[in-house]
Chains A and B, each alone.
Chain A
Amino acid sequence: MTAPLIGRRTFLKVGLAGSLMLASVGRVGAATADEEAALLAAISAALLAGMLPAAASARTQALNDTVAGVRHAVAGLSPSTQKEIAELFSLLGFPLARRFLAGVSAPWAEARTEDVAAFLENWRHSRYSLLQTAYGALHDLVLGAWYARPEHWAAIGYPGTPEIF
């Protein structure tokens, strides 16, 4: 399996638009908590496809728990890493960045899981280490938050911690 080739147009998008948007993030400010929750839920839905429950209410609850788990995990990182993660979330919460850097046209709350998955796959194999590391952070935060929870262990056949006390 080889990484998808990224064409010249994407390079321009990332090179020009990316740096413009990164520069403007500071000015537009951080995403609101709701915006951040919406983007994290959309990204989690793509990363966790195949594990999420089908029923709408259970799915929503599972995604909410995952978003809370991601935030809890971020709070345990070093201040410098927390700052980087906050910048990443702000960038993704910025509509122009979502549209042109991630390639997701609909707002996060309405985004189709296939489109979010395509964005993640692009960043995963990006030639730009900045996007690769952003994908890596999302991968580790979301999957870590999911599999930290005992209610998700039965699906992978993990019996849980032994009873000793």
Chain B
Amino acid sequence: MTDPQPRQQRDPLREGLAAGWKHIDASTLQADTLLEADVAIIGSGAGGGVAAELLSHAGLKVILVEEGPLMMTSDFRMHEAEAYPQLYQESAARKTVDKAITILQGRCVGGSTTVNWTSSFRTPPTTLAFWQEALGLQQLSVESMAPWFAAMEHRLGIRPWPVEPNANNGLLAQGAEKIGVPVHGIPRNVRGCWNLGYCGMGCPVGAKQSMLVTTIPAALSRGAVLISRLRAERLIFSPQQRIIGLKGRAMQPDGVRAGRISVRIRARHFVLAGGAVGSPALLLRSQAPDPHGLLGRRTFLHPTVVSAGVFEQRVEGYAGAPQTIYSDHYLEQFPVDGPLGFKLETPPLHPVLYSTTLQGFGEVHADKMRDFPHAQVLIALLRDGFHRESRGGRVRLRSDGSPALDYPLNEVFWEAARRALLAMAEIQFAAGAQRVTPVHEGTLGYASWAEAQRGIAALPLKPLACRVVSAHVMGGCAMGDTPVRGVVDQRGRHFQIENLTICDGSIFPTSIGANPQLSIYGLAARNISLLAAELQNRPAPAIP
């Protein structure tokens, strides 16, 4: 089960910093500061982390900018009350404009890779085929991407999880198999995992191969400079539309508001990896060229609906690797651009996340909470962005310059959400659930599959009544084959800004249809390898 390890955990990042690796906590700066590098990377998540390692490995001087704090392995204590304000955007309560979707997104060194649940899927062939055939992204085939995914799988220890799934995942497998729905194991990016179940609060044993323990220490060991708690405020352009600098503002120690100290960074090239909300927002604030009105458009979320089952036996969804079993059965029922399909997975259950997600209040809510150790939860991640009517959302700026994501939930979404709630209830009853409750304000749950079928068919599915969540923000700076169809080209290079590469989930032209971290790692490895060769005047690597 768990690897026996000494109680005193090593924290290589803390040791490296003690030995002289360069980290600046901008919230402690006393004066305005100017820094220079070959490449400035904005954002330290999946895209920024990979870029930092590869560019510093190529001998380039790199500065890595992060708005969130530097919290390390030895800081993580598995407490929701600490982790959400420290490690997540808006204390894990980021919402769409109408507040109908709650978004979990990391904001700390390592970005969402520090707090994700380790699921690591290659970009599905269906998605790449759609990008090639419908969107003209000819270069991105299963074959051409395979070596990049393989390289990142090797780098981050991604492999099938060899341990028995926890009961929360086990019941997904049992229920699905009973009704003939195939399930598979989820590859995870872990080394020496203790199977604790607290990945979402930062891995306390350094087993999760997040950017925090892999690419970022590697970059720092080669001289890269990390600046945390620095908000990237705007990019400064030359008259020729080259970026000449980044203007950042140090965050106050509360991590919520920017202070008065400014940090300017000059570089030859800029890599933007602020995530699919932050990256388009920075370009919008900077009034970057956007001749075809594509910036911030087509933002996708894998909008997710939730179903809670109660079992006679203890499930203990807080213990053990949180996501180890999935089913793509319902993604494969229809053509990719037909009615929306969905991926079935499980979330970890922790008291704050569970109690705030669960509908209702007072005695009814208290009763449901008393079943906590017996609760088993399924989530259905809807694949948005392929159907003609699934156009996603849009990132805009509030008057204070902060980003707001508008994501209307339309009929195409609700039709699929209803199928998803039905599918999850069917699986949970097949697995032996005593009661299944879709997370929706209009129901107290159902005692049988027959009752659930009738009930869910009649549920009014509307924003705010039906709980919708997301942990995957994608799009807004889409790749395209031509400037009319994209903000960046197939290498992530901005079509109008010569010295800008965008390197995060914002460049996906649709959602991925799977947890996106490995899609970001693979594409980042490819695009940044090409960029590093160009910046060093070396021949580009042969890319199929």
Residues of chain A whose beta carbon lies under 8 Å from any beta carbon of chain B: 1-3, 46-51, 73, 75-82, 117, 120, 124-125, 129, 132-133, 136-137, 139-140, 143-144, 146-149, 152-153, 155-158, 161-162, 164-165
Contact = CB atoms under 8 A, between A and B. Distances in A.
A73 B352 CA distance: 12
A49 B198 contact: no
A129 B464 contact: yes
A59 B502 CA distance: 53
Interface in B133-184: none
Given A75-B256, A124-B441, 18 more contacts: A1-B443, A47-B361, A47-B362, A50-B364, A76-B255, A77-B93, A79-B256, A81-B95, A117-B362, A133-B99, A136-B99, A143-B361, A147-B356, A148-B80, A148-B352, A157-B370, A157-B373, A161-B198
B366 A50 contact: yes
Given A1-B442, A46-B361, A77-B93, A158 B318 contact: yes
A14 to B, nearest CB: 16
Interface string B402-417: 1010000000000000
A53 B398 CA distance: 43
Contacts of A50: 362-367
Contacts, number: 133
- Top 6 A-B pairs, shortest CB-CB distance: A50-B366, A76-B85, A148-B81, A147-B351, A76-B91, A50-B363
B278 to A, nearest CB: 13
Given A51-B366, A129-B463, A158-B372, A165 B7 contact: yes
Contacts of A156: 351, 369-370, 372-373
Contacts of B351: 147-148, 152-153, 156, 158
B257 interface: yes
A76 B256 contact: yes
B22 to A, nearest CB: 28
B79 A161 contact: yes
A98 to B, nearest CB: 19
Nearest to A49: B362
B370 A73 contact: no
B486 to A, nearest CB: 30
A137 B364 CA distance: 18
B208 to A, nearest CB: 14
Nearest to A83: B400
Contact of A140 (B80, B93, B98, B204): B93
A36 to B, nearest CB: 19
B526 to A, nearest CB: 34
B361 A144 contact: no
B365 A143 contact: yes
A119 to B, nearest CB: 11
Contacts of B270: none
Given A46-B361, A164-B194, A144 B352 contact: yes
Describe A's contact surface by its main secondary structure: helix
Contacts of A47: 361-362, 365
Contacts of A140: 93, 356
A161 B373 CA distance: 14
30 contacts: A1-B444, A2-B442, A3-B442, A3-B465, A46-B362, A47-B362, A48-B366, A50-B366, A73-B85, A73-B91, A76-B84, A76-B256, A79-B400, A80-B402, A125-B441, A129-B464, A133-B464, A139-B356, A143-B355, A144-B355, A146-B355, A147-B354, A148-B79, A148-B80, A158-B351, A161-B198, A162-B198, A164-B194, A164-B196, A164-B205
Nearest to B399: A80
Nearest to B318: A158
B355 A162 contact: no
A147 B444 CA distance: 21
Interface string B77-98: 1111100110000110111001
B356 to A, nearest CB: 4
Contact of B254 (A75, A117, A153, A158): A75
B333 interface: no
B33 interface: no
Interface in B361-383: 361-367, 369-370, 372-373
A58 to B, nearest CB: 16
Contacts of B364: 50
B9 interface: yes
Contact of B361 (A2, A77, A120): A120
B179 to A, nearest CB: 27
Contacts of B319: 162
Nearest to B358: A143
Given A2-B442, A164-B194, A165-B7, A77 B352 contact: no
Nearest to B369: A156
A45 to B, nearest CB: 10
Given A120-B361, A148-B352, A165-B7, A77 B402 contact: no
A111 B94 CA distance: 32
B217 to A, nearest CB: 21
Nearest to B91: A76
Contacts of B463: 129
Contacts of B373: 156-158
A148 B118 CA distance: 24
A70 to B, nearest CB: 12
Contacts of B444: 1
Contacts of B77: 161
A117 B400 CA distance: 36
Contacts of B442: 1-3
B355 A77 contact: no
